[in-house]
Amino acid sequence: MASPVVPVSVPVPVTDPAVARNPNGGVTIRTRLSQLCQQGQPQLARHLLDSLPRASTAVWNTVIIGFICNKMPLEALQLYAEMKSRRNTASDGYTFSSTLKACALTQNLMAGKALHSHFLRSQSNSRVVYNSLLNMYSACLPPFSTQPQHDYVLKLFAVMRKRNVVAWNTLISWFVKTHRHLHALRAFTTLVKASLTPTPVTFVNVFPAVTHPTTALMLYGLLLKHGADYVDHVFAVSSAIVMFADLGCLEYARMVFDCCSNKNTEVWNSMIGGYVQNNCPLQGIDVFVRALESEEAVCDDVTFLSVISAVSQLQQIKLAQQIHAFVLKSLAVTPTIVVNAIIVMYSRCSSVDTSFKVFEKMSERDAVSWNTIISSFAQNGLDEEALMLVCEMQKQRFTIDSVTVTALLSAASNMRDSYIGRQTHAYLIRHGIQFEGMESYLIDMYAKSGLITTSELLFEQNGPSDRDLASWNAMIAGYTQNGLSDRAILILREALVREVMPNAVTLASILPSCSSMGSTDLARQLHGFSIRLLLDQNVYVGTALVDAYSKSGAISYAENVFIRTPEKNSVTYTTMIMSYGQHGMGKRALALYDSMLRCGIKPDAITFIAILSACNYSGLVEEGLHIFESMDKVHKIKPSTEHYCCVADMLGRVGRVVEAYEFVERLGEDGDAVEIWGSILGACKNHGYFELGKVIAEKLLNMEKERIAGYHVLLSNIYAEEGEWENVDRVRNHMKEKGLQKEIACSWVEIAGCVNYFVARDEKHPLSGEIYYILDILTRDMMGVGYKPGYNSNLNRILESSD
C-alpha cells in the first residue's frame, strides 16, 4: 500500500509555474497538489490532476483527501468514481478509508455499501479500512437499525480478526446512538478487560451512556488515573460535564470544569449549558461572565443560545436587552437560530412587542421563525394576532406543521372558539398531520369551547391501551373546567383501574374539582395520594392544593401546603395571596406580597388582581391604592379592566363612593366597562347614594351588549328603596323584553363528608326547619349586642317577586 506522504515523481506539465521553475523534478506533483489543497484550492488541484496523462493511486488519494479536508465530500466521491472508471488505477487502503469518510460525512449509505463491496473484492485485510467501514455504517444507519439482520455495525465488528481501540470506540458510539446504553457500558468493560488502553475519545463516547451518578463517578475516576493529558483533554472534559449535568450532579460537573486547566469554548459552553439545563440560570450567566473575562473562550452560537435561554428563565427584560445588544455587537451576522431564540426570550419576558420588532427586522425567516412568533403571541394571550400571523405565514408559502397547529389549537382554546378549532382539526385530517400529543390538544380545545361531548368522542375513539397519559389528563381537565367534577373523579378512577400512573399534571387538573364541590375531605384524599406518588413537592401540585384547600374553607391547610412547597413560582404566591384575601386576611396577604418581592419573584397582572382584592375585602384602602400606583410606575404592567374594577370596588366598599366615581370618570374609555360601573352601583345602593346610583344604572341599561341581569335587579332595588314604583316596573319590563333572569347564587357547607348546597330563602332542604330556627336564634343574639339589620318592606316585596 502506497503511503500518501511518500513523494512520487510524476511528469508535470510545464504550465505549472512551480514546476516550470524546477524542471528536474525538485517539486513533485503530489507536493504541489497537497499545497493547493492546504491553501483551500482543491478545485485547482483537481484541474491539475485532470491535466496529467497518467496518475498514480497516491496522487488520486492526495486530491480525494484534499476535498474531504476542505469539507467537499461530494466532490471526493465524484473523484473516486472517476478514478474507478480508469481501469489502470487500483484503489488501496488510503483510497478506501478516505472515500468511506466522505460517505460518512454525506450519510450516503448506498455509496458506502458499494465501497464495502469494492474493498471485499480487493481481498485486502486492512484494519484501517475495517475501522472506516465501522464508522461509515455507524454514521449512515438510522438509530432504529438495531435488528440483527440490519445491524451492519455489530455484524462487521464480529468478523474483524483484530480489533483496536478505534474499533471499540466506534462500537460504543453506535450503541449510544441506538439508545443501547447498557451494551455501550458492557463494551467499555470488555475493552478494559482485553488490556486495551482507552483513549480520551473512548471516554467521550461512553459518558453519554451513563444513567447513574455512581457509574459516572467510577468512569471519571478511571479517566483521572490516566493522567493530566486525559484530565485536560477538552472533548473528554466537555463530555464529562454534560454527563454530570444530565444526571443533575452540578457539583461534580463544576468540579470537572474547575479541574481543567486548558478550557476552550466548548468546555465553557458545556458548563453554561449544564446550569441552564438544570434551571440554574444565575449560575449559568455567572460562568458566561467569567468566560468573557478569560482569554480561553470565544463566544459562538452555542454560547449565546445557552445564555439567551438563561435570560428566558429569569424573565428579566433589562438583562434581555443587554444580552441582545451584546449579541449584535459580537456577531457580524446573527444566525437565524439565535434570532429565533431572542424572539422567545423577549416573549418569556412578557415583551411581545419587542419580539415582533425583532421578527420584523429579520432578513431571512425560516419556518421556525414564523412558528416562534406565532407561539409567542398565543402564549401571551394575543390569540387573534397569532391567527393573523398564521395567515401571513401561508401567504409567504411556508407550510403549516405540527408546531403551527399546536399554536393554533392553543389560540382556539384560549378564545373558546370552536369554529377555529374545527377548521384546524379539519386541516390536520386533510393533510394527514400526526404528532405526539395531538389528541390531548384537540380534547382540551373542544372542552374549553364548551363542546365536552366532542372531547368525549375523541377520547373514546382510541381504545384504553392506545390512550397516553396526556389524553387522560386533558379529559380530566375538560370535565373540571366544565363544572363536571363528578365525571372528572370517575375518569381518574378509571385511569387508576387501567394502571395508568398519574403525574403532576393529573393531580393539578383534578384538584380544582375539590374547589367546585367544596369538599375538604376530597382535597385531603388527593393530597395523601400525591404524597404516596412523591408529587406533593411539585410546584404545580402544591399550588393546586393551596387553591383547593382555600376554596374548601381550610385556609390553615392551604397555608401549611404553601410553606412546605420547596420551589414557589409567581403562580404559587398569587394563589396564596388570593386565598388570604378571600378569607379576609388582608394583612397576611400584604406581608406575603412583600416577601414575594424580596425573593425576586416578579408579580404579574393576576398577582395584582389578587393583592388588590385582598386589600378590598379587608378595607386596606391606602395600601391598595399604593400597590395600584406601583403597577405601572415600578413593575411596568398596564392595568386592565379587572384592576380598575378592584380599585373602584375598594373605594366604594368603605363609603368613598364619590371618589370611586371620579376615579372611573378619569379613566375615560378604559373605565367604560360594565364591571366597573356595576361595582360602583352596588356601593351606591349600600351607602345610600341613590341619585348617583340611578345615573350609573341608566348607563348600564344602555350597554345592550352586556346582558347581565344582576345590575338590572340592583337598579330595581334602588328605585324600590326610593318608592319609585313606575321605574321599578320599567326596569322589570326591560328585563322581560331582553329575556334576562338573575342567576340564583348558592352556598355550601360540608358536614361529615357530605356537601350541603343552599340558596336564599331555600325551603327544599330536608332540614330547612331546623336551619331557619338556628338562624332566628343567631339573628336575635346579634340584635341583642346592637346589630341592626337593614330591612325595607317595599324592597323585601320586590325581592320576593323577583324569585
Nearest 5°: phi and psi at 381?
A: 80, 5
- 310-332 per-position pLDDT tens digit: 999 998 899 999 999 999 999 88
* Nearest C-alpha neighbor of 664 from the set 684, 644, 637: 644
| Cβ-based neighbours of 490, under 8 Å, separated by 6 or more | none
Confidence of residue 416 (pLDDT cuts 50, 70, 90): confident
| Residue appearing with cell numbers 395600584 | 628
Q: How many CA atoms lie within 13 A of 370 on its CB side?
A: 24
302-316, 411-425, 770-784 — which is least confidently predicted?
770-784
Could you write out the DSSP letters of every residue in 678-692? HHHHHHHHHHT-HHH
What pLDDT does 6 receive? 33
- 637-658 per-position pLDDT tens digit: 889 889 999 999 999 999 898 9
What pLDDT does 199 receive? 94
pLDDT score of 618 more than 80: yes
Counting beta carbons within 10 angstroms of the beta carbon of residue 236, is it exposed (0 to 12), middle (13 to 18) or buried (19 or more)? buried
Pairing between strand 746-751 and 754-759?
antiparallel
More confident residue, 759 or 610: 610
What pLDDT does 11 receive? 36
Amino acid, res. 465: S
- Segment 776-794 mean pLDDT: 68
Amino acid, res. 51: S
* Nearest C-alpha neighbor of 494 from the set 460, 452, 519, 457: 460
pLDDT score of 464 more than 60: yes
- 235-259 per-position pLDDT tens digit: 999 999 999 999 999 999 999 999 8
Nearest 5°: phi and psi at 756?
A: -105, 120
What pLDDT does 557 receive? 93
- 357-394 per-position pLDDT tens digit: 999 999 899 999 999 999 999 988 898 999 999 999 99
pLDDT score of 792 more than 60: no
Alpha helices in 151-212 (DSSP H): 152-159, 165-177, 181-193, 200-206
- 474-531 per-position pLDDT tens digit: 999 999 989 898 899 999 999 999 888 899 999 999 998 887 676 788 889 899 989 9
- 527-577 per-position pLDDT tens digit: 998 999 888 889 999 999 999 999 888 899 999 999 999 889 999 999 999
Report percent pLDDT > 70 for the chain.
85
185-189, 440-444, 463-467 — which is least confidently predicted?
463-467
What pLDDT does 341 receive? 96
Instruction: Tell me the average pLDDT of the chain.
Output: 85
Nearest 5°: phi and psi at 710?
A: -55, -40
The span from the CA of 22 to the CA of 29, in Å, is 12
Neighbours of 103 (CB within 10 A): 28
| Residue appearing with cell numbers 483513549 | 199
Confidence of residue 803 (pLDDT cuts 50, 70, 90): very low
The span from the CA of 623 to the CA of 608, in Å, is 12
Give how far Cα 80 sits from Cα of 30, 55, 64, 67, 119, Å: 17, 13, 7, 11, 13
Confidence of residue 672 (pLDDT cuts 50, 70, 90): confident
pLDDT score of 198 more than 90: yes
The span from the CA of 109 to the CA of 115, in Å, is 10
* Nearest C-alpha neighbor of 267 from the set 289, 231, 297, 222: 297
What pLDDT does 608 receive? 95
Amino acid, res. 500: V
* Nearest C-alpha neighbor of 696 from the set 684, 688, 707: 684
- State whether residue 274 is helix, strand or coil: helix
What pLDDT does 26 receive? 35
**CA 94, chain centre distance (Å):** 48
For the ranges 113-122, 206-215, 689-698, the maximum mean pLDDT occurs at 206-215
Q: How many CA atoms lie within 13 A of 723 on its CB side?
A: 0
- 29-83 per-position pLDDT tens digit: 889 999 999 999 999 999 998 888 888 899 999 999 999 999 999 999 999 999 9
**CA 497, chain centre distance (Å):** 31
More confident residue, 17 or 149: 149
What pLDDT does 343 receive? 96
What pLDDT does 729 receive? 66
Q: Are 570 and 604 in contact (CB under 8 A)?
A: yes
What pLDDT does 797 receive? 44
H/E segment holding residue 749: strand 746-751
Give how far Cα 297 sits from Cα of 245, 322, 731, Å: 20, 20, 76
Rg of the chain in Å (alpha carbons)? 37
More confident residue, 215 or 686: 215
What pLDDT does 62 receive? 93
Confidence of residue 800 (pLDDT cuts 50, 70, 90): very low
According to DSSP, residue 400 is labeled P
What pLDDT does 320 receive? 95
What pLDDT does 711 receive? 58
Counting beta carbons within 10 angstroms of the beta carbon of residue 721, is it exposed (0 to 12), middle (13 to 18) or buried (19 or more)? middle
pLDDT score of 134 more than 50: yes
pLDDT score of 13 more than 80: no
* Nearest C-alpha neighbor of 664 from the set 614, 678, 627: 678
- Furthest CA-CA distance within the chain: 128
pLDDT score of 228 more than 80: yes
What pLDDT does 784 receive? 78
- 259-282 per-position pLDDT tens digit: 888 889 999 999 999 999 999 999
Return the sign of the alpha-carbon dihedral for residues 195, 197, 201, 203. Answer: positive
189-193, 331-335, 707-711 — which is least confidently predicted?
707-711
In this structure, which long-range contacts are made by residues 353-360, counting pairs with CB atoms below 8 Å and at least 24 apart in sequence?
A: 358/324
